[in-house]
């Protein structure tokens, strides 16, 4: 491949041929595993695409992904432990779309993992389905959530009923897909007219990457399992191309004191539990409680500021299916 010009065929493969190949430039990066790589960055939107040389095979997510990427650096974690570590974060993520749920809602979660969010959905709705490629996570979820129906396969291969769901939820999945367009086309096909799509993806304008410009964080941020790096503009554009009208907002997953850690140490915490936590440095006394509350308020204010400038480590798209794709020529993905 000519590393100065993006391959037009590759652009079509990933579903971004609504953009021009001449509008991309190669950005040299170091992946989390230490390899030098290339991210193709779109000048207008800032969207990034990992060069195909570094893509992982589709079966990578059946087992190997969890062996390499977990809540503890360099350690494989059991699904039950992941469920415990991420419980508070999963509650926060669930609250971003829970207002759209009722007993009658038919809900699909794509990439439901160990069930941290789907378990919460199942407490509200009667029809609760999940798609999860990882065999261990899917088996664990089937055992501890008898109400949910789990498809242990990729979303692309899952045999799902068309025009069936009221809401489809996908948390930290779209960035892993070869073609976000094909993924969104299938979301469109399984949702009822007016159905809600709720997506969460990493933000390519993450504050630590774009504003702090921490070199250690940049080496951590890019990795082989993420093909796409979305910005507010690129996420909104691809969703609109595939028939969804909505808005993109900022979401801060890892809070203020994690950013302080990075600015001082330039390396990640060894465990996500530490990175996600708010310190309580003082004892349980009147003065100590005031100090601890100050730490908590600082995190809230920082999160508000970061999200105001759309610099959170994640982006959320929430919108509705708006038209029948067969009558439009805006999205040329597979017709599911």
Q: Residue 326 — φ and ψ, nearest 5°?
A: -60, -20
Within this chain, do residues 317 and 195 fall inside the same structural domain, yes or no?
Answer: yes
Inside any domain, residue 59: yes
**Strand-pair category, 314-321 with 191-202:** antiparallel
The CATH number assigned to the domain holding 137 equals 3.40.50.150
Residue 148's domain comprises 55-212+229-252+312-322
Inside any domain, residue 163: yes
Within this chain, do residues 106 and 155 fall inside the same structural domain, yes or no?
Answer: yes
Q: Show pLDDT as tens, one digit a residue, over the chain (336 residues).
A: 456 788 889 999 999 999 999 999 999 999 999 999 999 999 999 999 999 999 998 888 887 888 888 888 778 889 999 999 999 999 999 999 999 999 999 999 999 999 999 999 999 999 999 999 999 999 999 998 989 999 999 999 999 999 999 999 999 999 999 999 999 999 999 999 999 999 999 999 999 999 999 999 999 999 999 999 999 999 999 999 999 999 999 999 999 999 999 999 999 998 999 999 999 999 999 999 999 999 999 999 999 999 999 999 999 999 999 975 533 444 544 433
Inside any domain, residue 206: yes
Inside any domain, residue 147: yes
Closest to 207 (Cα-Cα) out of 247, 256, 275: 256
Query: Strand order in 149-151's β-sheet?
Result: 149-151, 127-131, 106-110, 165-171, 191-202, 314-321, 244-251
Closest to 121 (Cα-Cα) out of 132, 133, 130: 130
Rounded distance between C-alpha atoms, residue 121 and residue 108, angstroms: 9
Q: Residue 101 is encoded by which pair of tokens? A: 């749920």
For residue 99, the 8-state DSSP code is G
Inside any domain, residue 13: no
Inside any domain, residue 31: no
Judge contact between 248 and 198, C-beta under 8 A: no
Cα angle value 185/230/112 (rounded, 5°): 60
Q: What 3-state DSSP class applies to 106?
A: strand
Span between the terminal Cα atoms of the chain, in Å: 31
Within this chain, do residues 287 and 316 fall inside the same structural domain, yes or no?
Answer: no
Within this chain, do residues 125 and 90 fall inside the same structural domain, yes or no?
Answer: yes
Inside any domain, residue 267: yes
Inside any domain, residue 44: no
Within this chain, do residues 63 and 186 fall inside the same structural domain, yes or no?
Answer: yes
């Amino acid at each position: 491949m000519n590393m100065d010009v993006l391959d037009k065929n590759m652009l079509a493969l990933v579903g971004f041929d609504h953009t021009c190949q001449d509008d991309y430039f190669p950005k040299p990066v170091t992946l989390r595993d230490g390899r030098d790589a290339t991210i193709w960055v779109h000048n207008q939107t800032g969207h990034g695409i990992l060069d195909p040389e570094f893509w992982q095979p589709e079966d990578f997510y059946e087992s190997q992904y969890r062996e390499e990427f977990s809540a503890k650096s360099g350690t494989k974690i059991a699904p039950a432990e992941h469920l415990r570590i991420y419980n508070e974060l999963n509650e926060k993520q669930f609250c971003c779309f829970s207002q759209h749920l009722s007993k009658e809602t038919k809900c699909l979660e794509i990439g439901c993992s160990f069930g941290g969010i789907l378990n919460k959905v199942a407490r509200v709705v009667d029809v609760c389905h999940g798609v999860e490629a990882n065999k261990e996570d899917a088996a664990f979820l089937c055992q501890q959530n008898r109400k949910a129906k789990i498809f242990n396969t990729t979303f692309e291969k899952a045999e799902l009923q068309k025009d069936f769901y009221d809401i489809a939820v996908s948390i930290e999945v779209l960035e892993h897909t070869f073609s976000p367009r094909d993924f969104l086309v299938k979301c469109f096909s399984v949702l009822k007219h007016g159905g809600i799509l709720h997506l969460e993806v990493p933000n390519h304008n993450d504050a630590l990457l774009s504003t702090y410009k921490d070199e250690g964080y940049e080496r951590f941020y890019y990795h082989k399992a993420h093909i796409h790096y979305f910005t507010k503009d690129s996420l909104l554009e691809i969703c609109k191309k595939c028939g969804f009208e909505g808005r993109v907002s900022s979401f801060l997953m890892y809070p203020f004191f994690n950013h302080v850690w990075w600015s001082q140490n330039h390396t990640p915490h060894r465990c996500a539990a530490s990175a996600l936590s708010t310190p309580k440095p003082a004892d349980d006394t009147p003065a100590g409680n005031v100090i601890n509350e100050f730490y908590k308020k600082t995190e809230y204010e920082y999160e508000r500021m970061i999200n105001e400038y759309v610099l959170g480590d994640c982006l959320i798209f929430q919108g509705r299916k708006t038209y029948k794709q067969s009558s439009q020529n805006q999205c040329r993905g597979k017709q599911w």
